[in-house]
């Protein structure tokens, strides 16, 4: 097997059909296959079977070409957040053992080679070799996540993982070759990879690809480009509803909402824009490859009287149970199935699997067979659908000698869901200026990770063991916010 096989097949049967639409350009399945082959030929001398290749690229057709060219050559692809600084990419590349990074912009990574992202349109250095034949245990994707300590981890997904989960998703969400998929989610995330590029590749659907999320551009695409399937996160819907004057189309659009807790208000926002939308709510995580549970809410009439707090039932191939539930049924969610990841890379943290069950760290209940998520992992902040790990920000804050202690928590935000807020304590005898701390964060952290506010305090609350108490800090922050 090879991930490129499906696209090569569509290039035979659907050679002149649009595979990708991007900023006024259209690439057919035949053209896409030719570009992937050209890129594989140009990379053949630098990328080999088993290599881990970083892909530092915006949401463009070149991302698709480079990803599948690497698959062609048998490499494990590690998509990198395009918002990361050079310092962050360098640390990630070294930690994950990347052989090379393909970049669409300037990047200095020291000992790790950097090559331009190939677009496959120019003359290749050589004809590509036949696509590598990969086995179930071979590495396919190396994604980024983190544990409760904030220490970054690489999540290795095998071919078996991806075939079991990615390649069945189209049946679960009802996607077909007749669909037009709108993708404005980042492609470095398993959600975007699965329900964007992969749905196009396995079904022969057309992918309308956006470089990023612009509410007005997405509204135009939903109205004018015949979109029938739109994977999203709640923040997108909140922002779309805020700029839309009213319904933009009466066409039936299947809307997926995931990657953050979903409130009834978000579903109502969808129907204000797309009154005939058929909504799917889901839950997933990188360590389980992608999609774990799903429920079809349907349209307003079908949803009448339903509890919209559920994430649905486990998709085929997964089992779920609650570990040590309390009297209300709340406990840690455990998962078992072929989608459970192969292992962590770049960390000594053990794979959180016991007797075949993956410990998710998420607190949940199972009610009538359906999953209800009660809380997130202990310290995780989800800012507009993007995971922000407080421990990573705290390490950057501690690089400043004037910072004695630092703690980062999530603060509720009406648009983004949450934003990170940093509380810092000055080292005795040192002045701690907020502007200087913010400038340091701007230099060392991607924009979405930077604290929305930096608060200098005399001391941080502590628990009985002497550790900083983040629950108490959240309470303090909420009280202060309420008093403003």
pLDDT digits (tens, 9 = 90+) for 241-280: 878 988 999 999 999 998 555 566 678 889 999 999 999 9
Closest CA to 267 of 249, 250, 279: 279
**pLDDT under 50 in the chain at which residues?**
147-149, 464-465
| pLDDT score for 125 | 61
| pLDDT score for 467 | 66
Under a CB-based contact definition with an 8 Å cutoff, are residues 2 and 132 in contact? yes
Cα Rg, the chain, nearest whole Å? 23
| pLDDT score for 433 | 93
| pLDDT score for 39 | 96
Under a CB-based contact definition with an 8 Å cutoff, are residues 320 and 369 in contact? no
Dihedral sign, Cα of residue 180, residue 235, residue 23, residue 105:
negative
The pLDDT tens digits of the residues spanning 28-41 come to: 999 999 999 999 99
| pLDDT score for 364 | 86
| pLDDT score for 251 | 93
- E strand spans, 400-443: 403-413, 417-426
Q: Is 77 helix (H, G, I), strand (E, B) or coil?
A: strand
């Amino acid at each position: 097997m090879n991930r490129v096989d499906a696209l090569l097949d569509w290039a035979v049967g659907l050679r002149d059909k649009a595979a990708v639409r991007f900023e006024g350009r259209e690439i057919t399945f035949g053209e896409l296959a030719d570009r992937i082959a050209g890129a594989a030929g140009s990379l053949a001398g630098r990328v080999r079977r088993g290599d881990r290749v970083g892909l530092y690229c915006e949401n463009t057709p070149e991302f698709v070409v480079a990803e599948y060219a690497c698959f062609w050559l048998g490499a494990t692809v590690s998509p990198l957040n395009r918002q990361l600084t050079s310092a962050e990419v360098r640390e990630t590349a070294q930690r994950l053992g990347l052989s090379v990074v393909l970049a669409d912009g300037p990047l200095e990574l020291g000992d790790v080679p950097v090559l331009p992202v190939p677009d496959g349109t120019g003359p290749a250095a050589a004809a590509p070799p036949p696509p590598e034949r990969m086995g179930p245990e071979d590495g396919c994707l190396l994604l980024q996540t983190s544990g409760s300590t904030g220490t970054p981890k690489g999540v290795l997904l095998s071919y078996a993982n991806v075939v079991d989960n990615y390649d069945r998703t189209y049946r679960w969400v009802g996607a077909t070759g007749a669909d037009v998929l709108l993708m404005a989610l980042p492609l470095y995330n398993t959600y975007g990879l699965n329900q964007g590029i992969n749905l196009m590749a396995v079904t022969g659907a057309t992918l309308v690809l956006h470089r990023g999320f612009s509410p007005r551009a997405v509204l135009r695409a939903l109205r004018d480009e015949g979109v029938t399937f739109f994977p999203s996160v709640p923040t997108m819907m909140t922002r779309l509803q805020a700029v839309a004057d009213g319904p933009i189309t009466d066409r039936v659009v299947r809307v997926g909402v995931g990657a953050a807790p979903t409130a009834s208000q978000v579903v109502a926002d969808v129907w204000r824009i797309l009154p005939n939308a058929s909504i799917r709510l889901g839950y997933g995580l990188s360590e389980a490859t992608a999609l774990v549970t799903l429920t079809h809410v349907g349209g307003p009439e079908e949803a009448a009287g339903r509890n919209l707090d559920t994430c649905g039932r486990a998709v085929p191939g997964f089992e779920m149970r609650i570990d040590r539930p309390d009297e209300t049924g709340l406990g840690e969610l455990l998962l078992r199935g072929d989608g459970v990841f192969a292992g962590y890379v770049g960390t000594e943290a053990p794979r959180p699997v016991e007797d075949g069950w993956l410990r998710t760290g998420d607190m949940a209940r199972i009610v009538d067979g359906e999953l209800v998520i009660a809380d997130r992992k202990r310290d995780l902040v989800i800012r507009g659908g993007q995971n922000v790990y407080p421990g990573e920000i705290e390490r950057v804050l501690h690089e400043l000698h004037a910072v004695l202690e630092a703690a980062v928590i999530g603060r509720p935000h009406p648009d983004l869901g949450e934003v990170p807020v940093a509380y810092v304590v000055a080292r005795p005898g040192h002045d701690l200026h907020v502007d200087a701390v913010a400038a340091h964060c701007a230099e060392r952290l991607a924009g979405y990770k930077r604290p929305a506010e930096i608060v200098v305090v005399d001391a941080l609350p502590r628990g009985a063991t002497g550790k900083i108490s983040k629950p108490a800090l959240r309470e303090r922050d909420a009280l202060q916010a309420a008093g403003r």
